[in-house]
Structure 1
């Protein structure tokens, strides 16, 4: 009888810990904590401060500057510390992204992982007019598909965009 009661307590404790971890309400001293934001549907509104390169920008979230990395796409290098890896195509992609993003309010949509190993927020990005930026970069030839599980929500959209681009 006593063993059954102990087992029940252990199970309840584990369930409580699991629930706390899943909601992200406790900060265990890690460098990055979960975003606190107001959702617009399933999107987060933020102001773009500057563009880092074709697939990364800095945004103001919760009165804090955060780097945002577009999910599912990769543009050529333009600001790599090893200058030999930077390309003219990367500079063009960066310039193109700057023209679309700088001083704009955008909507971020998260996928399974909120951040990458560098602490950047991983997001699908929508421009003020509703344009899906990740897809647009592929359609306009500035990015290629680069999907990494588990963040694969729009992989089919990106494949279709790449096919459409190849037919042009």
Structure 2
């Protein structure tokens, strides 16, 4: 029985890492959509969305990467993956955040954009925007933030791994 636990425990920790990255990315994506709607309510024009959304997602990703690194570094100092028990409550919470956040945010976002068309002053404003390009910018920013988050965490843990061997 001990052998099975030692074989499957590292796999569960890898899945925990996947859930962690997915949950952090879901939070970042929620903030990106929130910023998009802030821009709509503040009267941003196309060029603002084209440059501010990627810049916002880049800064947000760096901030959340640093927060994640600090939390993980504090937790990882005494952790031995082969024998440590997985924090199931945290694992389930991360899975719930990762799986529910994006669909809820997209439903909320779509409803919010559709409700803007009910206001005649906003309808004229929205007709001047190229919403397809704006949503493409949001999608590309989201994908870029996911990969940036992943790369920053990989580089950080490679650095910690190298430093621990010295």
- TM-based fold match above 0.5: no
Q: Which has the higher contact order (CA 8 A, sep 6+)?
A: 2
TM-score normalized with structure 2 length: 0.26
